[in-house]
Amino acid sequence: MDLLNALSALYAGGKYSDLTVTCGFRQWHVHRAILCSRSGFFDGACGNAFLEAERRVIDLSEDDEEAVDQMIRFFYHLDYLNEPRQPRLTLFRHRALSDARRRLPKKLDLSMIHDPLLEAAGVYIPEAPASPIASPVESRRSMEFPEKAPRSPVTKRAKTPPLIADDGSDYDSYDEEEEETQVDESHLFLHTKVYALAEKYDIPSLKALARQKFEMAVACNYDSPELPEAIEEIYCSTLDTDRGLRDIILELFNCYPQLATTPDILQVIKDLPSLAMELFKLERGIPVSA
């Protein structure tokens, strides 16, 4: 644990860094001893008479920026996507909302204001001028056919703050705004990117970790909107002989055959003949490797 904390401190501060990794507009100041001990690619790039060894700068701009960031995070944490989510501090929020309820703004009295704009908006209706004395015929007609009184304009009720139990909790257990803007947190597509990156730069431990994370994520989120894109990435970024993630996809179709009927997945199957052939073999009971 102390060693991991020390590595995390090096990653956060960049102290004693002797190598720079770039990807797009981002840079990471890293340590050759840490990267070269886990990656055959970095070991070869830093140990031989390459331009990277002289400049001590390695450009990975051809790769996905987020995947590169998670790869470098793995070098120092032996894990990725491991940032703890900090709950939003809402200390005494329930008290503030209770005070807001008790101190609702007073309703403005606009009865004494004559404004054509307010009148057009229906905020207030000016008092009708005094009508002349009605004739006996008109009075009798109004008694026989009484007119309905005009409805008062509909006013919207001010929305009161939500009721929050005064249980002494410091953090929100439910946030309406966060519910409306939910983001898919399965990270299926990112796991496939990290897996391909680990294969490309010869990082076996990261490759095994990415496979494990993808298998757990797809088991819990098989209906994720990222699944079609993840499947396409798997069959386009890995070799046919690399069964690490492909076998997981085939097992997923075996457990949930109805996935093949969804429009997005069906389109992916049409675009990937290798996947279509493997699904055909799976349905017929033919070994996929045959």
pLDDT in tens, 173-187: 445 444 444 556 889
Average pLDDT of the segment spanning 107-130: 59
Q: Is 161 among the domain residues?
A: no
> In the structure encoding, which two tokens stand for residue 219, read together?
């088991």
What is the rounded CA–CA span in Å between residue 158 and residue 176? 18
Q: Is 217 among the domain residues?
A: yes
Q: Is 9 among the domain residues?
A: yes
What is the rounded CA–CA span in Å between residue 82 and residue 183? 17
* Number of domain units in the chain: 2
pTM: 0.65
- Of 77, 96, 111, which marks where a domain is finished? 77
What is the residue range of 60's domain?
Answer: 1-77
Average pLDDT of the segment spanning 36-48: 88
Q: Is 46 among the domain residues?
A: yes
Share of the chain residues as helix, strand and coil, in percent rounded to the nearest 5: 50, 5, 45
Q: 57, 22 in Cβ contact below 8 A? A: yes
- Of 77, 107, 138, which marks where a domain is finished? 77
Rg (CA), the chain: 33
What is the rounded CA–CA span in Å between residue 252 and residue 156? 51
Q: Is 125 among the domain residues?
A: no
- Position 144 pLDDT exceeds 90: no
Burial (CB count within 10 angstroms: exposed 0-12, middle 13-18, buried 19+), residue 8? middle
Side by side, which strands form the sheet with 26-30?
A: 26-30, 19-23, 57-59
Name, of 113-127, 174-188, 249-263, the range with top average pLDDT: 249-263
- Of 77, 102, 121, which marks where a domain is finished? 77
Phi-psi region at 75: left, alpha or beta (left = phi > 0; alpha = psi -120 to 50): alpha
Q: Is 92 among the domain residues?
A: no
Q: Is 64 among the domain residues?
A: yes
What is the rounded CA–CA span in Å between residue 152 and residue 259? 56
Q: Is 274 among the domain residues?
A: yes
Query: What is residue 42's predicted lDDT score, i.e. its pLDDT?
Result: 92
